[in-house]
């Protein structure tokens, strides 16, 4: 489990790909001497397992499923990556609950300055966007952000200067794809509101939420 608060902007040192797997080696300023083999770490929002570590670097194996469903397989040596170690139960939850399980990809369709922030708009498809709500949480390449507005197949958000400077969003441009994880609690609520494998015909309304104990 993660929070979506990026701890370090690492550098991909090497990516070795084979017929059925890949191995990522990442350079980082994180305290690698404190790592343990088998611990979880999020790379661009994807939960992976630390398999090796040395001074200033660590490695993680990536399965074919992960390569197919995320942007990790498209990275090349020298790429910057967002890093976050797994959440401890004693830590502050400064972002939101993030599992590191990517729900889908979205493409940047707009990037523009808006006052002191940068506004990003994403095309994500109806299935992905149906799991988002205005002012709700979303993880973009592992970064905990607040959704400004959701439409049928797109959504937008604003990024403050600090977040832009400390994450890979500083390099993202129109046309780039990013990993998206929708809000964990929202997914469980949506699943709960299914009846017999079908969504309730009235959708999520105030009456439906009250009936099922959410209000």
**What proportion of the chain, given as a percentage, has pLDDT over 70?**
93
∠ Cα 115 164 149 (to 5°): 60
Question: SS in 3 state form for 150-210?
Answer: ECCCEEEEEECHHHHHHCHHHCCCCCCEEEEEECHHHHHHHHHCEECCEECCCCCCHHHHH
Q: Given this model, what pLDDT does residue 128 score?
A: 92
Fold for domain 104-182?
Elongation Factor Tu (Ef-tu); domain 3 (2.40.30)
Tell me which residue of 27, 23, 22, 35 sits closest to 8, measured CA to CA: 27
Contact 83, 28 (CB under 8 A): yes
Same fold, 8-85 and 104-182: yes
The answer, yes or no, to whether residue 197 has pLDDT greater than 60, is no
| CA–CA distance, 162 with 116 (Å, rounded to integer) | 10
**Helix, strand, coil abundance in the chain, percent, nearest 5:** 20, 40, 40
When pLDDT is averaged across residues 138-165 and rounded to a whole number, the result is 97
pLDDT digits (tens, 9 = 90+) for 95-147: 899 999 999 999 999 999 999 999 999 999 998 998 999 999 999 999 999 99
Over 50: is that where the pLDDT of 196 sits? Answer: no
Given the candidates 2.10.240.10, 2.40.30.20, 1.10.10.60, 3.40.50.920, the CATH classification of the domain at 8-85 is: 2.40.30.20
Neighbours of 113 (CB within 10 A): 8
At residue 67, what are phi and psi to the nearest 5 degrees? -60, -40
In sequence order, the 6+-apart residues with CB closer than 8 A to the CB of 115 are none
Question: Is residue 157 a contact partner of residue 138, using CB atoms and an 8 Å limit?
Answer: yes
Residue 205 pLDDT > 90: no
Q: What percent of the chain has pLDDT over 90?
A: 76
Domain spans, the chain: 8-85, 104-182
Q: Is the pTM of this model over 0.85?
A: yes
């Amino acid at each position: 489990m993660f929070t979506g608060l990026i701890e370090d902007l690492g550098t991909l040192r090497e990516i070795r790909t084979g017929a059925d797997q890949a191995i990522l080696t990442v350079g980082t300023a994180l305290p690698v001497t404190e790592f343990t083999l088998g611990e979880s770490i999020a790379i661009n929002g994807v939960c992976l397992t630390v398999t090796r570590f040395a001074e200033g670097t660590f490695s993680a194996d990536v399965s074919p499923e992960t390569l197919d469903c995320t942007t990790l397989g498209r990275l090349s040596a020298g790429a910057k990556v967002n890093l976050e170690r797994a959440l401890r139960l004693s830590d502050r939850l400064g972002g939101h609950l993030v599992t590191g399980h990517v729900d889908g990809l979205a493409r940047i369709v707009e990037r523009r300055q808006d006052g002191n922030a940068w506004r990003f708009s994403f095309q994500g498809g109806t299935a992905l966007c149906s799991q988002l709500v205005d002012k709700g949480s979303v993880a973009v390449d592992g970064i905990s952000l607040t959704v400004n507005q959701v439409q049928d197949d797109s959504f937008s958000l604003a990024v403050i200067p600090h977040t832009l400077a400390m994450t890979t969003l500083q390099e993202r441009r129109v046309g780039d794809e990013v990993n998206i994880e929708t809000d964990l609690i929202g997914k469980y609520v949506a699943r709960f509101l299914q009846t017999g494998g079908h969504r309730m015909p009235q959708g999520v309304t105030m009456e439906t939420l009250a009936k099922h104990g959410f209000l």
